[in-house]
Amino acid sequence: MNESDLSLTEQARYRREKLEEIRKMGFNPYPHEFETDHNTKQIRESSELLEGDDSTRKRVRIAGRIMTRRIMGKAAFFNLQDQSGSIQVYIRRDDVGVDIYNTLFKRLIDIGDIVGVEGFVFRTRTGEITVHAEAFTLLTKSLHPMPVAKEVEEEGKKVIYDAFADKEHRYRQRYLDLIVNPEVRNVFVKRSEMIQTMRDYMRNLGYLEVETPILQPIYGGAVARPFETHHNALDMKLYLRIANELYLKRLIIGGYEGVFEFAKDFRNEGMSRFHNPEFTQIELYVAYKDYEWMMRFVEQMIEHVVRTLHGTTKITVADHEIDFKAPWPRIPMLDAIKDQTGKDLSGMDETEIRQTARELGVPVDVSMGKGKLIDEIFGEKVEQTLIQPTFITDYPIEMSPLAKKHRTKEGVVERFEVICNGKELCNAFTELNDPIDQRQRLEEQARLRSEGDDEAMVVDEDFLKALEYGMPPTAGLGIGIDRLAMILTNQESIRDVLFFPHMRPE
Q: Which position has the higher pLDDT, 406 or 447? A: 406
pLDDT of residue 506: 77
Distance of CA 198 to the CA centre of its chain: 14
Q: Which position has the higher pLDDT, 101 or 9? A: 101
Q: What is the mean pLDDT of the chain?
A: 93
The CATH code that applies to domain 183-329+388-497 is 3.30.930.10
pLDDT tens across 363-372, in order?
998 878 888 8
Give, in words, the CATH class of 3-140. Answer: mainly beta
Percent of residues, the chain, with pLDDT higher than 70: 97
pLDDT of residue 398: 86
Say how far apart CA 109 and CA 92 lie, in whole Å: 15
pLDDT of residue 157: 67
pLDDT of residue 219: 93
Q: Which pTM value belongs to this model?
A: 0.91
pLDDT tens across 315-330, in order?
999 999 999 999 999 9
Say how far apart CA 215 and CA 237 lie, in whole Å: 10
pLDDT tens across 407-439, in order?
999 999 999 999 999 999 999 999 999 999 999
Instruction: Write out the H or E segment, with its range, that includes residue 341.
Output: helix 333-341
Q: Cα torsion at 376, 382, 383, 384 (round to 10°)? A: 120
For 341, other C-beta atoms within 10 Å of its C-beta total: 18
Q: Does 150 have pLDDT greater than 70?
A: no
How much of the chain is in helix, strand and coil states, percent to nearest 5?
A: 35, 25, 35
**273, 492 contact by CB (below 8 A):** yes
Q: Does 192 have pLDDT greater than 60?
A: yes
pLDDT tens across 363-396, in order?
998 878 888 899 999 999 999 999 999 999 999 8
**217, 230 contact by CB (below 8 A):** no
pLDDT of residue 1: 64
Confidence of residue 99 (pLDDT cuts 50, 70, 90): very high
Which residues of the chain are in CATH 3.30.930.10 domains? 183-329+388-497
Query: Using only C-alpha atoms, what is the Rg of the chain?
Result: 29
Q: Does 163 have pLDDT greater than 60?
A: no
**110, 121 contact by CB (below 8 A):** no
**Section 174-197 average pLDDT:** 95
**279, 263 contact by CB (below 8 A):** no
Confidence of residue 456 (pLDDT cuts 50, 70, 90): confident
Is the alpha carbon torsion for 216, 219, 220, 221 positive or negative? positive
**Section 467-481 average pLDDT:** 98
pLDDT tens across 123-138, in order?
999 999 999 999 999 9
In one-letter notation, the amino acid at residue 118 is E
Which residues of the chain are in CATH 2.40.50.140 domains? 3-140
Helices assigned H by DSSP within 384-460: 435-450
